[in-house]
Structure 1
Amino acid sequence: MNTLDKPVLQALDDYKAAVLAKSVDAFVALYDQHVLVFDMWGAWSYNGIAAWRQMVEGWFGSLGTERVIVDFSDAQTITADDLAVVHAFVSYKAIDTNGVELRSMDNRTTMTLGRNSDGWKIVHQHTSSPIDGSTTQAIFRRR
């Protein structure tokens, strides 16, 4: 890992912590004001931080007392002075107040980060799962 990778990989750790804490502010702080997100759920895209914040508030608010553990694996980075790309497999595991797993799913993600006066911020994020050709259903388990 080179020194440019460290803040990019730190963004993944900060993402995990913000989701576990259900902290809208900490989560949204990872993103640039002009972020464009291609998410898997509900909307074709989220343009700008206000639209993304609204989605995050809905997601975290829908969890009630549940929490979500996020885990990134096989993260690969490509970095330059002010631009970085990280792609990884990501798993989301919902747990109850006793830590019992309620449900889980795996996705693929690619994040593009830009460095500005506020540090590294996600300027674009794309999340996906493959589609089973015979059923046209999303595959939520990494095989």
Structure 2
Amino acid sequence: MPPNPGDPTHILSAYADAVHARDAEALLALYHPHVTVYDMWEHWLYDGQQQWRGMVEGWFASLGDERVQVTFDDIRSTVTPELALVHAFATYTGLSATGERLRAMNNRITLTLTRSGDRWLILHEHSSAPAEFSSGKVNLHRPA
């Protein structure tokens, strides 16, 4: 489902659908060509859609026959005519080929969106999770 220009939070359902389908092209179509991504895994920065493409394609290839279900909660947004800020808690659940839940992790996601014609595109993405100060260990499980 393409993002609704009136409600930038619809980009989250398009994101979840693309990830579940392991459709790199559909996912990348949600991003501005000059996107900056601060992902919480390995690299400090992905600068531009082409660098982000490498991460997305590698992630989907690593899944084998598994799927990932992404759900969002506590979604909040602020919208201006040209930009929107959307942030939420994201849960990434690994599913077997038969749909069995294998594992899950949570993180925080913040998206800065810009208008492109009649839709929103992700101009900046930042994902994070809290880290214990003394050990640096990242907590990937949100308290209930």
Distance 1:5 1:73 in 2: 20
Aligned to 1:131: 131
**Pair 1:77 & 2:77 matched:** yes
**Pair 1:24 & 2:21 matched:** no
Shift of 1:4: 6.2
**Pair 1:38 & 2:38 matched:** yes
Q: Is the 8 A contact 1:4 1:80 kept in 2?
A: no
Q: Is the 8 A contact 2:5 2:119 kept in 1?
A: no
Secondary structure of the 2:50 match is helix
Distance 2:47 2:111 in 1: 15
For the structure 1 residues 5 and 131, does the alpha-carbon distance in structure 2 shift closer, same or farther, using more than 3 Å as the test?
farther
**Pair 1:89 & 2:110 matched:** no
Q: Is the 8 A contact 1:131 1:137 kept in 2?
A: yes
Shift of 1:109: 0.6
Q: CA RMSD in A?
A: 1.3
Distance 1:99 1:134 in 2: 38
Number of residue pairs matched by the alignment: 140
> What is the one-letter code of the residue matched to 1:122?
I
Q: Percent identity?
A: 44
Worse-superposed segment, 132-141 or 9-18: 132-141
Shift of 1:132: 1.3
Deviations 1:8-58 (A, max 9, x none): 111000000000000000000000000000001111100001000110000
Q: Is the 8 A contact 2:66 2:96 kept in 1?
A: yes
Task: Give the 4+ runs in structure 1 shifted more than 4 A.
Answer: none
Aligned to 1:107: 107
Distance 1:134 1:89 in 2: 24
> What is the one-letter code of the residue matched to 1:24?
A
Q: Is the 8 A contact 2:5 2:118 kept in 1?
A: no
> What is the one-letter code of the residue matched to 2:43?
A
Distance 1:5 1:74 in 2: 19
Compute the TM-score of the two structures, normalised by the length of structure 2. 0.93
Compute the TM-score of the two structures, normalised by the length of structure 1. 0.94
Residue segments in structure 1 that go unaligned for 5+ positions in a row:
none
Shift of 1:118: 5.8
Secondary structure of the 1:51 match is helix
Secondary structure of the 2:59 match is helix
Aligned to 2:50: 50
